[in-house]
Structure 1
Amino acid sequence: MKFESLPTVEDGGHTSIADVHPDIIRTHILARLDGPTLASATCASAQLHSLSSCDDLWRHLCHRNWPSTARPLIRHLISRFPAAHRGFYSDSFPTLHYRSRCRPVNSNPLRLPPAPRLVSAVDVHYRNKLILSKVEETDTVTGWFLCSPFRIDVLDQKEKVPAPVKFHGGHDTFQSDLEESLTLSWIIFDPAQNRAANFSSPRPVSVNRHWLSGDIQVRFATVLAGQQAGEPVSCTAVVTCGGREGGELQVKEVSFQVEDMEGKNLSGRESLVILQEAMELGERRREKKGEEREIHAEFLKMKKERIERKQRREKRLDMVCMATGVTIFLAWALHLLRRYS
């Protein structure tokens, strides 16, 4: 889009963008732009920089992308960010990207004061239609949180959210449809540091049926650097959907966990450090379609290799223990034979 000049009807001449009334630019041009384009407009000229920096533009953009940001608690948190909604958008729009060498091997981890709470803003869309919008606060100072496996649930145990989506074409067809059409945004705030990040992949990394309940589990995952160099972790959000063919879709569970290379869910204490560091130092970029699946598949491959190596070590250790036990038994038996012969 070129802003330098606009042709006039009257004399066929040109007029500069500066001659256009600011309200027209703001209302009819800038308000229609997406985030990256609006950010680019701030660099075009001093006038556009001033107009594009208006917090109302960025506020409406955030509400359009993430309806949960219109909640009073989230609006209060965003108001404390540097540059308010524009600063929040720059934190949350690009997805977090894992780099295997984002922390040098011998470097010390980032030391941040523990956050007394985390706030999650969660939005689920199906074909760009909102089906779930929730805000969840998590107390992070209790002994239960610090020592237990980290998990955030935005729905109560028996809560079910109906969605204007119907099962059609059988489970296999519907699974494929959810894989293409369901999107999730899981933005976590650290109110103490006035930082936020979107920990959900743009698209699902897998869609599977639960072996027991038959519910469909849609997984979104972002791979991040763990506390040890070269040890990635997976931040996994699961949207569990139920319903019968021909009936209405129901969202039965929406949860978030952090998993290490051995398949273990990290504790609240461990997860808090990783999430805070990702919000403060994590690389953010707009990933190509399908890239999140490739990164997650690589994580699963590394995880499988780690488990297989561990199993081989344990098997060798078992063999050594068995051989040692047999040797001791034979030596003891030989000693008894010599003693009583």
Structure 2
Amino acid sequence: MNYFDRLDEDIVPFHLLPRLDGETLIRLSCVSPEFRHLIINNEDLMRKICISTWPSLLYGDGIGCRKVSRFPSSYRSFFCQAFPSIDEHHPLPPPPPSPRPVTFFMYNMDIFLQGQREPCYSGLYLDQVDTTEMEQVDTTMERLLGPKLYYDTRRTFKIHWPCGLARADRRKFFSVKKEKEGCEEYLKQNMSLSCVVVEIYRSCAGSLFHPSTCKPVSVKETRIRLPISVEVEVVFETFIPAPVGFYTEMVKCEVKITCCGWEEGDEEKFYMDTIEFTMDDMNGEQLTRKDGNLIISNAIENGERKINKQT
């Protein structure tokens, strides 16, 4: 007996499915051909799920949504590629002999606090990488800055979001209730991070940090002078596989978030000040910008995906 025949045709796609999260929808699509058809072929449903999972797609007048709409199957393709995270346990094939001259990445960053309806921060970073220019050494800048400083500022992989530059009335604040253990323990248990990278020219995506399993590895609070009385540094880490032939099997991706705030009654009020994303090899050395982008590009295209279980 087909129980779908007993229901109004609008009940499941318009009233039941939109209430489910991404992981449930993926699992439900494997239950039967009927569910798979209702989920995968419902473009409006896929768009709503993508935006609720990654609010940063709406950042900057929806620039992320416009890029995703150019995928071969639009939001359906993006969701299937971005919702599972890249599995660090599966080695990648060797990279192409020579990288593309120009690669265009879009980093979608969302930071969540459990129990709050809106994310603490949503933003994106567009990065155009010209590998031909990166091969050329700017001898003038190297001479002025010195070899080490030139390497650190120009050649290493580092992405910086200066979130706190907005005027005070435009900053997005979030509150943390005072606990006996302090705000460090609260943020360590309740803050999560999502980072999806889109390679725009190839219309493909991959999830480096997944909010269902990504928890801070460290939280450090510092008391500083007024007008800001509290500064908290939250660090997230994840690992992605390196291509075959790279001198380490995996690389570490680290996101360091600095929150500034002050005490206000029984709560501490914070806003995101800076977000910094770096990549290191397993020897602790920071990757060059070229190697970092090559590894991300190869992981997006060839990396195995896994569904993360809620912990």
- The interval holding the TM-score normalised by the smaller chain is 0.7 to 0.9
- The C-alpha deviation readout for 1:21-63, integer Å capped at 9, x for no partner, is 2211211222222223323333444443332221111111111
Q: Matches of residues 62-77 of structure 1 in structure 2 within 5 Å?
A: 62-71=50-59, 72-77=62-67
Of Structure 1 and Structure 2, the greater strand share is in 2
Higher relative contact order (CA 8 A, sep 6+): 2
Q: Matches of residues 109-258 of structure 1 in structure 2 within 5 Å?
A: 109-110=95-96, 113-129=100-116, 130-141=119-130, 143=133, 148-155=155-162, 158-159=165-166, 161-166=171-176, 168-169=178-179, 172-201=181-210, 202-209=214-221, 215-227=231-243, 228=246, 230-246=248-264, 247-258=268-279
The equivalent position to 2:286 in structure 1, one of 252, 257, 265, is: 265
| Matched residue count | 272
CA contact (8 A) 1:200 1:237 kept: no
How far off its partner does 1:278 sit? 0.9
How far off its partner does 1:167 sit? 5.7
Identity of aligned residues (%): 24
The TM-score normalised by the length of structure 2 is 0.77
Aligned to 1:300: none
The equivalent position to 2:86 in structure 1, one of 96, 110, 118, is: 96
For structure 2, list consecutive stretches of 5 or more residues without a partner in the other structure: 137-153
AA aligned opposite 1:234: K
CA contact (8 A) 1:205 1:221 kept: yes
How far off its partner does 1:258 sit? 0.8
CA RMSD of aligned residues (A): 2.9
Aligned to 2:304: 283
Q: How far apart are the structure 1 equivalents of 2:280 and 2:201? A: 25
Structure 1 residue 50 and structure 2 residue 68: aligned? no
CA contact (8 A) 1:223 1:234 kept: yes
* Equivalent position SS for 1:199: strand
* Equivalent position SS for 1:77: helix
Q: How far apart are the structure 2 equivalents of 1:203 and 1:279? A: 22
* Equivalent position SS for 1:133: strand
Q: How far apart are the structure 1 equivalents of 2:288 and 2:224? A: 27
For structure 1, list consecutive stretches of 5 or more residues without a partner in the other structure: 6-15, 291-341
How far off its partner does 1:203 sit? 1.6
Q: How far apart are the structure 2 equivalents of 1:87 and 1:212? A: 46
AA aligned opposite 2:273: K
* Equivalent position SS for 1:259: strand
Which deviates more from structure 2 when the two are superposed, residues 206-215 or residues 178-187? 206-215
AA aligned opposite 1:243: G
The equivalent position to 1:108 in structure 2, one of 69, 72, 94, is: 94
How far off its partner does 1:76 sit? 1.6
Q: How far apart are the structure 1 equivalents of 2:135 and 2:204? A: 21
How far off its partner does 1:80 sit? 2.0
Aligned to 1:23: 10
* Equivalent position SS for 1:241: strand
- The C-alpha deviation readout for 1:319-338, integer Å capped at 9, x for no partner, is xxxxxxxxxxxxxxxxxxxx
Identify if the C-alpha distance between structure 1 residues 68 and 265 changes in structure 2 by more than 3 Å, giving closer, same or farther: same
Q: How far apart are the structure 2 equivalents of 1:240 and 1:114? A: 34
The TM-score normalised by the length of structure 1 is 0.70
* Equivalent position SS for 1:140: strand
* Equivalent position SS for 1:69: helix
Identify if the C-alpha distance between structure 1 residues 83 and 265 changes in structure 2 by more than 3 Å, giving closer, same or farther: same
CA contact (8 A) 1:120 1:137 kept: yes
Aligned to 1:60: 48
Q: Indicate the structure (1 or 2) with the bigger Cα radius of gyration.
A: 1
Of Structure 1 and Structure 2, the greater helix share is in 1
AA aligned opposite 2:130: V
